[in-house]
Amino acid sequence: MSTLVKLAEATLFFLETLAWLAIAYVAFMLVGGGALGWLAGIGALVVVIIAWALVASPKGFLASRASVVAVRAVVYLAAVVGLIIVGPVWAGIALGVLLLVCEGLLIWQHKHAALTATRRTGRN
């Protein structure tokens, strides 16, 4: 595996984690903070992690090409748009650009999680 692909995979792992945390932050801010905000943020984070583990991870129980791409797109879009709405706009734009670059590189090199998920499970 090339160094560029390894770097993209490591960066994407970091960016995925940031996207999850951004969704929790957006839920916290949309509720208005306080105890209810913490509950909303933690609840959103738990929902995202469960959906990701079941569907979007390469070894996910329900992983298929369409489901991996769909869940990743929804999570990334929610994080980027949420940050643009409630958080620093530059952070949302930077996250979106970096996610596109890393995902695009992995697709171009045929190393994307959607491809590896279907190779392992044999599902489309």
> HEC states along 94-113?
HHHHHHHHHHHHHHHCCCCH
What's this model's pTM, rounded to 2 decimal places? 0.84
Gap between the Cα atoms of 25 and 67, Å rounded: 25
Gap between the Cα atoms of 78 and 27, Å rounded: 10
Confidence of residue 112 (pLDDT cuts 50, 70, 90): confident
pLDDT digits (tens, 9 = 90+) for 29-83: 999 989 999 999 999 999 999 998 998 876 778 877 788 888 999 999 999 999 9
Gap between the Cα atoms of 71 and 112, Å rounded: 14
Cα within 13 Å of Cα(43), Cβ side? 9
pLDDT higher than threshold 90 for residue 108: no
In order, the DSSP letters of 37-87 are: HHHHHHHHHHHHHHHIIIIISTT-TT--HHHHHHHHHHHHHHHHHHHHHHS
Gap between the Cα atoms of 83 and 109, Å rounded: 29
Gap between the Cα atoms of 105 and 84, Å rounded: 24
pLDDT digits (tens, 9 = 90+) for 1-26: 688 888 888 898 999 999 999 999 99
